[in-house]
Amino acid sequence: MNTKRTLIGALVVLMALGLSSFKQEDDRNFQIAKNLDIFNAIFKELDLFYVDTLNPEKVIQNGVNGMLALTDPYTEYYPEEEVSSLKEMITGKYGGIGAAIRYYKKKDRIAVIEPIEGMPAAEAGVKAGDIILSVGGKDMVRGDLKPQEFSEKVSEALRGEPGTSFILKVLRPLKNDSTVMEFKITRKNIRNNPVPYYGMVHDSIGYLALSGFTDNCAKDVKKAFIELKDKGAKALILDLRDNGGGSLQEAVDIVNFFIPKGKEIVVTKGKIRQAAGSFKTANEPIDTGMPLAVLVNGNTASASEILSGSMQDLDRAVIIGTRTYGKGLVQTTRQLPYNGTLKVTTSKYYIPSGRCIQAIDYAKKNADGSVARIPDSLTHVFYTAAGREVRDGGGIRPDIEVKGDKFPNILFYLLNDDLIFDYATQYCLTHPALVSVDSLQITDEDYADFKKLVKDANFTYDRQSEQMLKTLKEVAEFEGYMEGAAEEFKALEQKLNHNLDRDLDYFSGPIKEQIAEEVATRYFFERGAAMQRLKDDADLKKAIEVLTSPAEYRKILSVPEAKTESDAHTASQK
């Protein structure tokens, strides 16, 4: 009898829970339908009665943007005319001339900043520094467009079906003048090179930079890796700095070069069943024993964190640099009416230790719409295959942290005012072609020429120390302390007096490095810039140091001595 009553009671509870669930779902469906009706009605009333005629596309687009603002920055709507940019981001391919461009405010025009090696623009003779005047006979003038809109307009004009030709008219700066030049260019399929540079950086250490995880980039990495092995590489440095990610599958395929077949690398978990998945290595690896170092920084994100994080979790590589961005979210695309596309976050990914490295919880926004990173105090400990402690909630923490040099304030403004860009153009006109990147050196004489260019341009910039001192004075006056501190403030103002010569000399090191990188790009394209950056690279030096010390390498990837073997075994099971 008691058993029967128990079963009846349990059945009643289950029915109640079921009815409650149905009621909640019905309420949710009602709220959705109700608010869609309200939105539709408001638009109709505005369109009918508002004093001015509204642009329906702009009004609805603003409504869509407001809705998406409640999600995360990676959930985006692409109308039909912008879908091509989404496809380019995913595939790394487009039809065009193969040249990076941007707004050049001194001429109020668009300038070519970097032709891609071997692509139509470079093959035709277009150079960095050329100012675009017309494309196919159409003048490229800004009018009332914003600089970004102007850049997009010119970019759209340069792109087109592969095989189509047009005349590009540019203004080319010369030593003391400039001249108009015309080039006949035939568009072709352009694919951004995901491996801008690879080569030997030590007697037996190979280096490979990966700039993005576009379609089929794993094949490029495989080709470069095998070539480095053929050249005698016994260890490898994989550079993922400033790599914002891309295809999750490509990341898994690259991990597979170093990890045995059948290992689970990523698990995705979302709200619906279709968002859940498991990604395992599917092929036989190339090399499971070669010592590896992976370079990362604050702009290493998403698929780059899958690669670096899984290599850390599996104790397969030493991670060097600064903490990564912390993007543990996965996006998929959904087709919408009228050929639009929604890129929507559908799940989070979890790497082999079980941790998710997402640094920001977008579901917990502040009242003003801002969000904050998960504090370290709220993160959780996980364990690598060997039992080393790693944490979730804030990107990948390197095994060896290398603090980079701070970016001088003056350098930001020099770049923003195109002065380094202009000097590189001038440099290439007055210096013979370089034989190699190794022979590039910005001499004191070159730097004196640069300083003259800066002064002739009447260059000014905001100094943070000056701004902070001004703020401090205002606070001191407000709180009544100024009278007693007037002399001290006066002395400090004299010490912080704006002196352009002093600042250019004091920060000559990083400024020269930036000039050299820009010049290297002019002579040797993207690979030249990469090679120049490696000349004095603290992360690279540390990686070489670790990879040339087998004992140190093994020590980093092993469980700390404080842990016993049983502790490590227990930890690895958690």
Helix axes 2-49, 56-68, angle to 10 degrees: 150
Domains and CATH numbers, the chain: 29-70 (no CATH), 93-191 (2.30.42.10), 197-399 (3.90.226.10), 409-547 (no CATH)
Q: Among 3-12, 19-28, 283-292, whose mean pLDDT is lowest?
A: 3-12
Instruction: List, for residues 308-335, the tens digit of each pLDDT value.
Output: 999 999 999 999 999 999 999 999 999 9
If pLDDT is split at 50, 70 and 90, which confidence band does 393 have?
confident
pLDDT surpassing 60 at residue 10: no
The secondary structure of 420-466 as a DSSP string is: HHHHHHHHHHHSPPPS-GGG----HHHHHHHHHHHHHTT-----HHH
203 catalytically annotated: no
**Catalytic site residue 327?**
yes
Range of lowest pLDDT (110-124, 443-457, 474-488): 474-488
Cα–Cα distance measured from residue 136 to residue 134, given in angstroms and rounded to the nearest whole number:
7
The residue ranking higher by pLDDT, 533 or 483, is 533
- H/E segment holding residue 101: strand 99-104
From 155, 247, 302, 347, the catalytic residue: 302
CA–CA distance, 156 with 132 (Å, rounded to integer): 13
pLDDT digits (tens, 9 = 90+) for 273-304: 888 999 999 999 999 999 999 999 999 999 99
Say whether 313 is catalytic: yes
Catalytic entry in 127, 169, 263, 327: 327
In this structure, are residues 114 and 522 in contact, taking their beta carbons and an 8 Å threshold? no
- pLDDT number for residue 574: 44
Which SS3 state, helix, strand or coil, does residue 17 take?
A: helix
- Output the DSSP codes for 371-383: --BPPGGG--EEE
Q: What is the 3-state secondary structure (H, E, C) of 511-556?
A: HHHHHHHHHHHHHHHHHHHHHHHHHHCHHHHHHHHHHCCHHHHHHH
Does the pTM surpass 0.75? The reply is yes
Tens-place pLDDT, residues 169-226: 999 998 778 899 999 999 999 988 999 999 999 999 999 999 999 999 999 999 999 9
Average pLDDT for the chain: 89
Residue of 130, 313, 315, 537 marked active site: 313
Element (H, E) at 90: helix 83-91
**pLDDT recorded at residue 573:** 46
Residue 157 clears pLDDT 80, i.e. is over it: yes
pLDDT band at 82 (very low <50, low <70, confident <90, very high): confident
